[in-house]
Chains A and B, each alone.
Chain A
Amino acid sequence: MTLTHYLVLSAILFSLGAATVLLRRNAIIVFMGVELMLNATNLALVTFARLHGDLTGQVMAFFVMVVAAAEVVVGLAIIVSIFRTRKSASVDDINLLKS
């Protein structure tokens, strides 16, 4: 095997995460799809760091993790407050702006 296998795995995981975001209706599962995409990019970053012998890729992955943690905190808080007001976690129910 070569390092390309890692990159292909990362691409597959990224597309599965994107498919989850596009196809699922439950806001929490959609959010987990976003997390999966972030993780896939992290794998690619770590692999590129190894490919080039430069640790900067790992530092980028580290920053992605920290930003993802902050994003999850705010996103889940939004989901909880939406659920409180609308009693639903489905992304299709949030169509207030629809005429």
Chain B
Amino acid sequence: MTPSTAEAVLFWVLAPIMVLAAGGLLFARKAVHAALCVITVMISLAFLYVAQEAPFLGVVQVVVYTGAVMMLFLFVLMLVGVDASDSLVETLRGQRWIGWVAALGLGVVLVGVVGRTVYPDAVGLGDANGATNPVGVARIIFGQHVFALEVVGALLVTAALGALVLTHRQRLKPVVRQRERAAARVKAGARLTPLPAPGVYARHNAMDVPALDPDGNPIEESVPRVLRIRGQEAGTDAFHADTYRRAVTAVLAQRGVTATDAEVDAALGTTEDDPRPPAAPPGTTAGPTTDITLGEGSTGTETQP
């Protein structure tokens, strides 16, 4: 039995993709990219399983590996923080070189042994898959390997319990609910009403532009807290409504005086070169960065831009 031409085409299309994706796992800087590369490898493997007369394993590969395991990886990546990248500091001297040499040596040995061995003529699974592949696999699992299957079931239950125990967190402080928060606000004399929405009466409607109060002054707390902590708000100076300047200009215009910006500046006693500076790029405005506590649920990584 030799593989058909179609299978050869499938293999030669998928094999380079898989090796490239596996290399992506090795070299990708961001963990999410590495996870996507592994997902590529796993889906390609499912194709190869189906081509290799193992349709049951192909389906299980997609359902269990890409569907469950890799999604679990992505969930944990989101929990741990997508930014968590590798440190380049070597704590063990020469570990990187030894690692490269060991991995390369392992690859050369494996490929050499596997590639140079003479195998018997391939039998193919035509007979074994006579009553369809899932039935054949089931006969072996529930025939010769029943005990192993039971043990594996116990293992899965144990693993689920283990995950629950390992990620369990003891509650050390009392729960702070809405009622307690409200009471604390009243006690502290803080703002009781909801915060104004950002940007509503300002020149833009974006989240990072502070709202303006009736005097035209920006209300800094109208910008969402996360944006303020990251320093991504669009700056309060840039969106000052300049109502006083406008009023002066309007009064002067009523009297028939057309004043230039410079003359108004002189009359107002302000010497702004550019009364409306452009909005600062994200990350450059000075905002509170460390002095805001985000409470118990914080991972401490929110302040890192």
Contact = CB atoms under 8 A, between A and B. Distances in A.
B305 interface: no
A84 B167 CA distance: 9
Contacts of A69: 64, 68-69, 156, 159
Nearest to B143: A59
Interface in B142-183: 144-145, 148, 152, 155-156, 158-160, 162-163, 166-167, 169
B6 to A, nearest CB: 11
Given A20-B26, A80-B79, A36 B61 contact: no
Contact of B19 (A12, A26, A59, A70): A12
Contact of A78 (B124, B125, B127, B166): B166
B86 A24 contact: yes
A28 B89 CA distance: 18
Interface of chain A, main secondary structure: helix
A5 B129 CA distance: 23
Interface of chain B, main secondary structure: helix
Contacts of B41: 13, 36, 39
Interface of B: 2-3, 7-8, 11-12, 15, 18-19, 22-23, 25-26, 28, 31, 34-35, 38, 41-42, 45, 48-49, 52-54, 56-57, 60-61, 64-65, 68-69, 72-73, 76-77, 79-81, 84-87, 89, 91, 96, 98-100, 102-104, 106-107, 110-111, 114-115, 117, 119-120, 122-129, 133, 136-137, 139-141, 144-145, 148, 152, 155-156, 158-160, 162-163, 166-167, 169, 299-301
Question: A-B pairs with the 10 shortest C-beta distances?
Answer: A53-B123, A15-B107, A19-B103, A22-B99, A70-B159, A11-B110, A77-B166, A16-B22, A77-B163, A7-B114
27 contacts: A7-B115, A9-B15, A11-B114, A13-B18, A13-B22, A15-B106, A16-B23, A25-B87, A29-B31, A32-B25, A32-B34, A36-B22, A36-B41, A44-B114, A50-B124, A51-B122, A52-B123, A53-B127, A53-B128, A55-B140, A59-B137, A65-B60, A65-B61, A70-B158, A72-B69, A73-B163, A81-B166
